Amino acid sequence: MSGKPKLYYFDGRGKMESIRWLLAAAGVEFEEEFLETQEQYEKLLQGGFLLFQQVPMVEIDGMKMVQTRAILSYIAAKYNLYGKDLKERALIDMYVGGTDDLMGFIMMFPFLSAEDKEKQRAVIVQKATSRYFPAYEKVLKDHGQDFLVGNRFSWADVHLLEAILMVEEKKSDVLSGFPQLQAFKTRISSIPTIKKFLEPGSQRKPVPDDKYVETVRRVLRMYYDIKAN
């Protein structure tokens, strides 16, 4: 093995995308194995690698890790993106939890019908502008620093930028009433590792399309059929 982390997931965003973001922010190169068939997924299951029968899975430091939050916490701690003490770590966890909640409204968007997508788009924008973005706007304004926690770049900043860009894909001017977040977006996007990840040709995945949706449904159908019976 090359020593690089290896990511097992679909060729698309989903729950793995935040892991890609965090590794890229840390300047860590990684490899990917894309699940395209039920056989690949079944092989991971039969090998006992998916502790809870779910992906993402990341092979890192001799471990085969599952559960997105555990993987992200490990990467953040390993690469010094998790604060300098317990209080900072608690704040990072709190802010990441908020962005996770917001991303949750977006995660299933590609799998909805056209009619439901329009309803969900309105929900995403409403939640972002009335609940989540005002909270982060206030944090940045109150402490007057460049980053969310401890005036140093952390997992919380990476996660918030990812969430901002996801919501902007649903409404391009969604930050119009949030000057602190506009400046934050510009600032974080200019960090060299982030800037590289945002450039064409990186391992950042595009907005999920019909092909991605069809692949996920095809690969996971066997598992969900079994669970239903």
Tokens of 71: 């993987």
Whole-angstrom Cα distance, residue 75 to residue 22?
7
Tokens of 117: 């997508």
Say if domain 86-190 classifies as CATH 1.20.1050.10.
yes
User: What residue ranges of the chain are covered by domains with CATH 1.20.1050.10?
Assistant: 86-190
Identify the helix (H) or strand (E) that includes residue 71: helix 68-78
The residue count of the chain comes to 229
10-residue mean pLDDT profile of the chain (229 residues): values are 86 97 98 94 90 93 96 98 97 97 94 94 97 97 95 97 98 97 98 98 95 92 48
SS (H, E, C) 84-133: CCHHHHHHHHHHHHHHHHHHHHHHCHHHCCHHHHHHHHHHHHHHHHHHHH
Q: Is the pTM of this model over 0.85?
A: yes
Q: State which CATH number among 3.40.630.150, 3.90.79.10, 3.10.25.10, 3.40.30.10 fits the domain covering 6-79+198-220.
A: 3.40.30.10
Strand ranges of the sheet holding 57-60, from the earlier edge strand across to the other edge = 31-34, 6-9, 57-60, 63-66
User: What residue ranges of the chain are covered by domains with CATH 3.40.30.10?
Assistant: 6-79+198-220
pLDDT at position 2: 55
Is the torsion defined by CA of 76, 81, 83, 88 positive or negative?
negative
pLDDT at position 223: 53
